[in-house]
């Protein structure tokens, strides 16, 4: 069920809360190979299953940035922010990749609402995104995503 945060007051009312988890999706070798083509990152640990079989993970692993790139697909299934005139993705305060995503893994996203700070012409919302690999003890990616919103003008 998608959590709806309505306006600045709705966001601030949920500060510190874990908003939920997405469903799991599977990371395929085809996706990894397509990402390698798009990014130019053809490191063997990602794209050479034969060589990777004798590597540190026993298989190919997803690029960290591919893992992060899956979050815009998963996040809307967890939350949405309504009641704003405009919103933009402002960037990331921090991104870490604590553990690998082996090919064939199932991942899901968990989102925690960390902060809502006043900025020029609106608010900056900080969300912690944690991408988990099913069965793993540590997340594959933890990122502090920054969003900027301009509220509707008050009557």
Within 10 angstroms of residue 146's Cβ, the number of other Cβ atoms is: 19
What CATH architecture is 3-26+62-151? Roll (3.10)
Tell me what percent of the chain is helix, strand and coil, each rounded to the nearest 5.
25, 45, 30
Query: Rounded CA gap, 71 and 63, in Å?
Result: 14
What's the pLDDT score for residue 155?
A: 40
Q: What is the pLDDT along the chain (155 residues), one digit of tens a residue?
A: 899 999 999 999 999 999 999 999 999 999 999 999 999 999 999 999 999 999 999 999 999 999 999 999 999 999 999 999 999 999 999 999 999 999 999 999 999 999 999 999 999 999 999 999 999 999 999 999 999 999 987 64
Name the residue ranges covered by the structural domains of the chain.
3-26+62-151
DSSP single-letter state for residue 76: G
């Amino acid at each position: 069920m998608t959590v709806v945060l309505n306006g600045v007051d709705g966001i601030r009312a949920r500060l510190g809360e874990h908003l939920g988890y997405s469903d799991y999706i599977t990371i395929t070798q085809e996706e990894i190979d397509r990402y390698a083509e798009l990014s130019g990152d053809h490191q063997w640990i990602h794209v050479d299953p034969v060589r990777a079989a004798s590597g540190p993970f026993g298989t190919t692993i997803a690029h960290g940035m591919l893992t992060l790139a899956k979050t815009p697909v998963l996040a809307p299934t967890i939350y949405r922010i309504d009641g704003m005139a405009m919103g933009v993705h402002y960037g990331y305060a921090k991104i870490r990749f604590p553990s690998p995503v082996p090919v064939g893994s199932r991942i899901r996203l968990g989102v925690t609402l960390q902060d809502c700070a006043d900025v020029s012409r609106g608010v900056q919302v900080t969300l912690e995104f944690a991408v988990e690999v099913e069965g793993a003890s540590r997340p594959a990616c933890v990122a502090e995503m920054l969003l900027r919103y301009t509220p509707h003008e008050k009557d």
